[in-house]
Structure 1
Amino acid sequence: MTNTQLGQILLAILLLLLGANLLGQLFRRLRQPKVVGEILAGILVGPTVLGKIAPGFAAEMFGGDKGDPSAVVLGFLYNLGLLMLMFVSGCAAKHLLGRQNRTATAWILGIGTPLPFLIALFAAPLLPLEDLTGTAGSEQAVVLVFAAATAVTSIPVITKIFYDLGILHTRFASLQLGSAVLEDIALWGVLSVATAIAGAALGATGDELTATIGGHIAVNAAYVIVALTVMPAVLRKLSRAEWNVVARNSPVAWMLIVFLGYVSLAAALDVTLAFAALLAGFGVMGGMKGTEQERFRDPMQSISDVSGHFFVPLYFAIVGYRLDLSKTFDPLMLVGFLVGTSLVVFLSVGLGAKLAGMSRLDIVNLAITQNARGGPGIVMASVAFDAGIINAIFYTTLVLTAVLTSQACGCWLDYVLRKGLPLLSGADLRRRGIEPAPEELSPQRG
């Protein structure tokens, strides 16, 4: 790589990172999710805007084809940003299933997640799937992605919205995040199956395809079970071992080694890498308690800060860069998917929340928040597009749906708080003879 090529790559990173952080901060000031500004930055320097104004400059900076050094480096940063986003999200999964939330979580998770997934699963074959299918040519995989994209909830985006609004300490936040973590684990498993189907679809017989999918499901299930049940305890013991000088003297390095180990093993086993990164975060922080948790809190915060200010904004900016709205935007598809899937999610989550004993405002708050598809919606779309499951038009539709539903969530919760209304009225707790905490009925922004 020449100095000129290196300089072009660094300039491309500079433009993406600067734009993502500037527009991200602007959108935060406008009470909008930061991720929307980060994606918009990529759209502005991508083929939609800069590519039309100065196509030669854009191609020189960002690479004209997959073999170009700029394209290779940006592709690596895109994937690393995705993995770091999922790793940090997994680390946040340790405080989520509080005792007061278990009944409500069970209802919302038992109905609010599987019902929209099943409705979409049965409705998808009635749609013109050939208009959504990517280069792999597998309509079965498209159906699974369609259903998963309908039911997914964004852990990173709603966590960021809760943080920006100062309500991470509330029962509402822990209830939403608890159900979202369990839901997304299941949906990432579905996406891994879809990826296996797409990978085996080219030239595979029916028996070969069945064997491939069966083996893939078995490997993924084993990976998930071990990662959720065995590895947190193993990692806790390893982090406390006297001989583990890395964990004792450089906790940041230890956590990143665990992250890279999970992802490398997942690659060898053909497990979806983004899902593996999520489980790595859960494994490295999920089993820690007391003083050990305190010891790793600052290192985890350091990783989160670097990821949140460098790798993750770059990832979302490159997501925006990859969108060519002049060629891959279908407004009818966007409106149909956005409105149809949102109605299904609202009805499903509303039914679960109603059965849990929630009030009308509780149901609205939960449904709008559960419909925010943000980061995972974009990640799922990216993984499915890269695997050739979906085409560029449906990829654009999924990304824009994730952005719009996240915006709606941020705006609505901000409105509720400004009106002084409760996020959860506590009606479900009173039915069980539990009086909700006063701060939950009138939450103060942290």
Structure 2
Amino acid sequence: MSNSSLTSVLFVLLLLVGLAQLLGALFVKLRQPKVIGEILAGVVLGPALLGRLPFFAGVVGSAMHKSDVLDFIYWLGLLLLMFLSGAETQQLFTREERREVGWLTIVGTGLPFVIGLVFGPALIRPSLEGPNGNKVSLIIILAVGVAVTSVPVVSKIFSDLRILHTRFARLVLGVAVLEDIVLWLALAIATAAAGKQALDPKRMFTHLALTVAFFGLGLTVVPRIVKRINKAEFNILAKSSPIGYAVAVLLAYCALAGALGVSLVFAAFLAGFAVVHKKRRLFAEALDSIGKVSFAVFVPVYFAIVGLKLDLIRGVSWGMMAVFILGTCAIKILSVSLAGRFAGFRGLDLINLAITTNARGGPGIVLASVAFDAGIISSQFYTTLVVAAVLTSQIAGAWLDYVLRKGWPLLSPVKSAPSLDTAPERPSATA
């Protein structure tokens, strides 16, 4: 790479990191998810705004199209996001409220997914299809897009609102973790089917078998093996450089997945899952350090590039966007409300659970990114999925903040025990 090319890449990185952090902080001040500001940074630098100016169009366009550096950073940000999400997963499972989590997962997630699969064939249009798309992959992407809930964004909202310790948070995050594992597998199947207009049954079976085996072993057997290696006496790297060891596990998982033809996104998630394996304290400082750097640089750049890819001039179908967002939100909210009633919730409880689990956030954006990069979906459908993820996350954060400011309970108190699901103490207006 020439000096001038490297300079342009570094300048674009400066713009992406700086603007993503600036707008992210602004949205936090506005009590909105930070990820929205980070995506907006890419939109501002893209063809909808600054990208229309000759200078920015030339510099950003050159860096994006003539260099693999930004593409690598984009993927590194995505892999680190999934790795850290997998590491958080171990802390979200709990033995409490199994009945409620079961109903919310099976009905609240399963029903929207099944509706997407059943009605998908009638809803699929050529405008949704990318260069490698086919009916099978598109139907699965549509079904996942209806059902997905964001673990990272919802966790961040709960943390910002100081309600991460509550029963409400445990229920929502428990449901989100369970459904995301299943939906990532569905997305893996969709990517396996991509580009095969005439599906080769033998090749498809082999690919899917490898994917399912990778997932199954990555959730059961392999974490136990990694746990033994983590504490083994011969593991000098884990003792001398826990950060380097954690990153090495991530790279090993991704290298193995690449060799088997399994998506690297899912490998990164399973790598985080394996490193922690119910013993986060073993690598707590290492993961915190990786998280600080990742969420300061690489993850914001990933989300900013997601925004940069949005073509809000030529790549938007307002009709498609309106129908998809309104239709999928209605299906998800009604399904979760029905599941909540089966689980014994009523009134405001149902509204809080439905609006919060409708937040698609990071996984919704990852879904769009993976499907778009695999050529499954069109730029219009990509934009629709990203905007849906942003809007649903924004609505969830705003609603929960409103409920807490009103002093309303997030969940009705359990009769046998006092509830923690109330608004945290806030300074008075005269303080």
- Counterpart in the other structure of 1:437: 418
Counterparts of 1:149 and 1:326 in 2: how far apart (Å)? 23
Displacement of 1:128 after TM fit? 4.5
Q: Does 1:181 align with 2:177?
A: yes
Counterparts of 1:33 and 1:150 in 2: how far apart (Å)? 20
- Counterpart in the other structure of 1:255: 246
Paired residue secondary structure (1:439): coil
Counterparts of 1:8 and 1:442 in 2: how far apart (Å)? 48
Counterparts of 1:392 and 1:361 in 2: how far apart (Å)? 38
Displacement of 1:343 after TM fit? 0.5
Residues matched between the structures, number: 427
- Counterpart in the other structure of 1:419: 406
Displacement of 1:269 after TM fit? 1.1
Alignment partner of 1:225 out of 212, 216, 222:
216
Paired residue secondary structure (1:325): coil
- Counterpart in the other structure of 1:196: 192
Superposition pairs of residues 74-89 of structure 1, within 5 angstroms:
74-89=70-85
Q: Does 1:41 align with 2:46?
A: no
Per-residue CA deviations over 1:101-126 (Å, capped at 9, x if unaligned) read 21111010111111001111111211
- What TM-score do you get using the length of structure 1 for normalisation? 0.93
Counterparts of 2:345 and 2:303 in 1: how far apart (Å)? 35
Alignment partner of 2:95 out of 93, 96, 99:
99
**Is the CA contact (8 Å cut-off) linking 1:166 and 1:444 kept in structure 2?**
no
Alignment CA distance shift 1:246-1:437 (3 Å)? farther
Counterpart code for 1:214: F
**Is the CA contact (8 Å cut-off) linking 2:124 and 2:135 kept in structure 1?**
no
Counterparts of 1:162 and 1:440 in 2: how far apart (Å)? 12
Displacement of 1:97 after TM fit? 2.4
Counterparts of 1:114 and 1:438 in 2: how far apart (Å)? 29
**Is the CA contact (8 Å cut-off) linking 2:124 and 2:139 kept in structure 1?**
no
Superposition pairs of residues 78-227 of structure 1, within 5 angstroms:
78-201=74-197, 204=198, 206=199, 208=200, 210-227=201-218
Counterparts of 1:76 and 1:416 in 2: how far apart (Å)? 41
Counterparts of 1:285 and 1:65 in 2: how far apart (Å)? 35
- Counterpart in the other structure of 1:14: 14
Alignment CA distance shift 1:346-1:57 (3 Å)? closer
Counterparts of 2:112 and 2:302 in 1: how far apart (Å)? 28
Alignment partner of 1:384 out of 366, 371, 374:
371
Counterparts of 2:103 and 2:36 in 1: how far apart (Å)? 31
- Counterpart in the other structure of 2:62: 63
Q: Does 1:338 align with 2:319?
A: no
**Is the CA contact (8 Å cut-off) linking 2:131 and 2:195 kept in structure 1?**
no
Per-residue CA deviations over 1:262-320 (Å, capped at 9, x if unaligned) read 111111111121111111111111242xxxx4341111111111111111100000000
Displacement of 1:233 after TM fit? 1.4
Displacement of 1:393 after TM fit? 0.4
Per-residue CA deviations over 1:202-224 (Å, capped at 9, x if unaligned) read xx4x5x2x222222221111111
**Displaced runs of 4+ in structure 1, greater than 4 A?**
441-445
- Counterpart in the other structure of 2:25: 25
RMSD of aligned alpha carbons: 1.6
Per-residue CA deviations over 1:400-428 (Å, capped at 9, x if unaligned) read 000000000000000011111111113xx
- Counterpart in the other structure of 1:409: 396
**Is the CA contact (8 Å cut-off) linking 1:176 and 1:366 kept in structure 2?**
yes
Counterparts of 2:118 and 2:341 in 1: how far apart (Å)? 24
Counterpart code for 2:339: G
Counterparts of 2:167 and 2:327 in 1: how far apart (Å)? 29
Counterparts of 1:26 and 1:404 in 2: how far apart (Å)? 17
Per-residue CA deviations over 1:1-28 (Å, capped at 9, x if unaligned) read 2222111111000000000000000000
Q: Does 1:266 align with 2:266?
A: no
Displacement of 1:439 after TM fit? 2.5
**Is the CA contact (8 Å cut-off) linking 2:105 and 2:179 kept in structure 1?**
yes
**Is the CA contact (8 Å cut-off) linking 1:198 and 1:388 kept in structure 2?**
yes
Counterparts of 1:8 and 1:174 in 2: how far apart (Å)? 45
Displacement of 1:359 after TM fit? 2.2
**Is the CA contact (8 Å cut-off) linking 1:42 and 1:321 kept in structure 2?**
yes
Counterparts of 1:354 and 1:198 in 2: how far apart (Å)? 38
- Worse-superposed segment, 164-173 or 22-31: 164-173
Counterparts of 1:12 and 1:394 in 2: how far apart (Å)? 26
**Is the CA contact (8 Å cut-off) linking 2:412 and 2:419 kept in structure 1?**
no
Counterparts of 2:78 and 2:161 in 1: how far apart (Å)? 24
Displacement of 1:444 after TM fit? 4.8
Counterparts of 1:136 and 1:421 in 2: how far apart (Å)? 48
Displacement of 1:441 after TM fit? 4.2
Paired residue secondary structure (1:369): helix
Counterparts of 1:193 and 1:180 in 2: how far apart (Å)? 20
Question: How high is the sequence identity, in percent, across the aligned residues?
Answer: 49
- Counterpart in the other structure of 2:275: 284
Displacement of 1:442 after TM fit? 4.7
**Is the CA contact (8 Å cut-off) linking 1:96 and 1:175 kept in structure 2?**
no
